[in-house]
Amino acid sequence: MSKILFISSEAFPLIKTGGLGDVAGSLPTALLKQSQNVRLLLPAYPEVLYKIKEKKIRASTSFYNQPVDIVETRLPGTQLRVWLVDCPSVYHRPGGPYIDERGHPWHDNALRFAIFCHTAVAIAMNQFKLKWQPDVVHCNDWQTGLVPALLSLQKKRPATVFTIHNLAYQGLFDQQTFDDLQLPEQLWHMDGLEFHNQLSFIKGGLAYADRITTVSPTYAEEICQPEMGYGLDGLLSYRKQKLSGILNGVNEKYWNPGTDFHLVQKYNQKSLNKKSLNKTALQEEFLFDVDASIPMIGMVSRLVEQKGLDIILQALPRLLSMPLQLVILGTGDLHFEMLLSEIAQHYPDRFKVVIGYNELLAHKIEAASDIYLMPSTFEPCGLNQLYSLRYGTLPIVTPVGGLADTVINASDKNIKNKSANGFVLKEHSLTALLNSIHHALELYAQADTWRQLQVNAMNCDHSWGKSAHQYIKLYQQAITDNPA
């Protein structure tokens, strides 16, 4: 049994903006179930403090003259102990974890997450005498990147693991910020935190962690190439021996069509015919034609370029002339939000766009749709295609990252050998997308084949237990690698 300090800037159900929140809300609990001794460290945003019931201050300190309390609580509905980094001056404000109410990154994000990282290092080095010192510190994304860097300067430190959930977000700040944060001078060089004269938080993880992981084997390969490496491919290739990919899982407590309390009608493999009641309910809600035989395509996503909105927008005129219904839920770039909403106004009977973050509607769309659209330009792992598989909603995806690792194209051969569970575009292009949609609609019209594809999809094992087992092995390797 290892003691693991799991550090994340978000964790469902306390706070979530994307996949990282899902992972941090699931993996630590899955590790706990496999007898690991885990603590989750999270900033105490107002939304988090509002949601927790019990809380106890375990230690107090200050960084950069800002008072910090470590508040102990539990992740709602679990036994997992959570330590909240409560620093009111930087976290107690309206807005999101990373952006303000107008959608701009917080002006002091470097300070906000430096405080988070310093607190993590102090816990890791047992400076608060909490009677608990980790063997492994598991960091996630740039917000935690300073932790492996700072720990690398310590004697007798825990091992460090750094997981990349999305290399596109790196935490880049100017050199002055490095000076203002009074970070150790020996970390400022091209093999350290410096990235073309800028301070790179993520490089702290990539350069100094004992082990690096990302959230799918294919993405682990892709980020070592210039096209997807954001200039960090050289460093990642150099550290390739220490880099691996472990797929994310599905949290069965929240994403199981057999028990999902958000649904009008629960269902499983054996009662798949009941799935369409979720479709007719959503058709009624959105004032579409109510007819279970009309194929429904769904999408729940951040509305950013990564998610393939360029080709979706190009495909819309053709798509909306087909006999289908389309539902998109998301928030993100203003111009995508406006374009989609504008187009939807012209097709009120078949195209619904809901702008906003809506957990309930996300579940309803997964259950109601027949087909799920996810033609991302890149996708580290992707969770919605996994949820779609679980809900018998066949995903249409590009052959990148975790999508390539989890979706098996409905080719004749794969249909025959019962491995097919979705549709994989030949490439990221409009033609490929339209071809795959046509293919999906053709198969949708063949009820028996479609049913078999749904069963194949629902039978895929993407449980967190499986992934947690791989992380536990990795922690052991990190402990062995730790030179301190």
Q: By the 8 A CB rule, do 420 and 380 touch?
A: no
Tokens of 265: 């009608």
String marking each residue 289-328 x if it binds ligand ADP according to CB under 6 A: -----------xxx--------------------------
**Is 329 among the residues that bind ligand ADP (CB under 6 A)?**
yes
Residue selected from 2, 7, 9, 19 as contacting ligand ADP according to rule CB under 6 A: 19
Q: Round to whole Å and give the CA distance between 205 and 239.
A: 11
Residue 36 CB: number of other CB atoms within 10 A?
20
The residue range among 147-155, 344-352, 356-364, 474-482 that interacts with ligand ADP, by the rule CB under 6 A, is 356-364
Helix (H) or strand (E) holding 336: helix 334-345
Tokens of 305: 């370029």
CB within 8 A of 120, min separation 6: which ones? Answer: 5, 7, 41, 85, 137, 139, 144, 147
Cis omega (within 30 of 0) for bond into 13: yes
**Is 169 among the residues that bind ligand ADP (CB under 6 A)?**
no
Q: By the 8 A CB rule, do 80 and 98 touch?
A: no
Residue selected from 5, 7, 8, 22 as contacting ligand ADP according to rule CB under 6 A: 22
Residue selected from 383, 396, 437, 458 as contacting ligand ADP according to rule CB under 6 A: 383
Closest CB to ligand ADP: residue number: 19
**Is 384 among the residues that bind ligand ADP (CB under 6 A)?**
yes
**Is 382 among the residues that bind ligand ADP (CB under 6 A)?**
yes
State the minimum distance, in angstroms, from the CB of residue 339 to ligand ADP. 16
Tokens of 136: 């492994």
State the minimum distance, in angstroms, from the CB of residue 257 to ligand ADP. 14
Q: Round to whole Å and give the CA distance between 331 and 304.
A: 8
**Is 18 among the residues that bind ligand ADP (CB under 6 A)?**
yes
Closest CA to 39 of 71, 67, 62, 77: 71
**Is 251 among the residues that bind ligand ADP (CB under 6 A)?**
no
State the minimum distance, in angstroms, from the CB of residue 320 to ligand ADP. 21
Q: Which is nearer to ligand ADP, 403 or 437 (CB)?
A: 403
State the minimum distance, in angstroms, from the CB of residue 170 to ligand ADP. 15
State the minimum distance, in angstroms, from the CB of residue 22 to ligand ADP. 5
Q: Which is nearer to ligand ADP, 13 or 18 (CB)?
A: 18
Q: Which is nearer to ligand ADP, 73 or 384 (CB)?
A: 384
**Is 330 among the residues that bind ligand ADP (CB under 6 A)?**
yes
Tokens of 459: 């039978």
Q: Round to whole Å and give the CA distance between 202 and 17.
A: 19
**Is 428 among the residues that bind ligand ADP (CB under 6 A)?**
no
State the minimum distance, in angstroms, from the CB of residue 461 to ligand ADP. 19
Task: Calculate the dihedral angle through the C-alpha atoms of 87, 90, 94, 98, rounding to the nearest 10 degrees.
Answer: -110
The distance of Cα 14 from the centroid of its chain, to the nearest Å, equals 15
Residue selected from 328, 362, 440, 468 as contacting ligand ADP according to rule CB under 6 A: 362
Number of residues lying near ligand ADP (CB under 6 A)? 17
Tokens of 176: 């002055």
Q: Round to whole Å and give the CA distance between 210 and 242.
A: 7
Residue 169 has φ and ψ, to the nearest 5°, of -110, 115
For ligand ADP, the binding residues (CB under 6 A) are 18-19, 22, 300-302, 329-331, 357-359, 362, 381-384
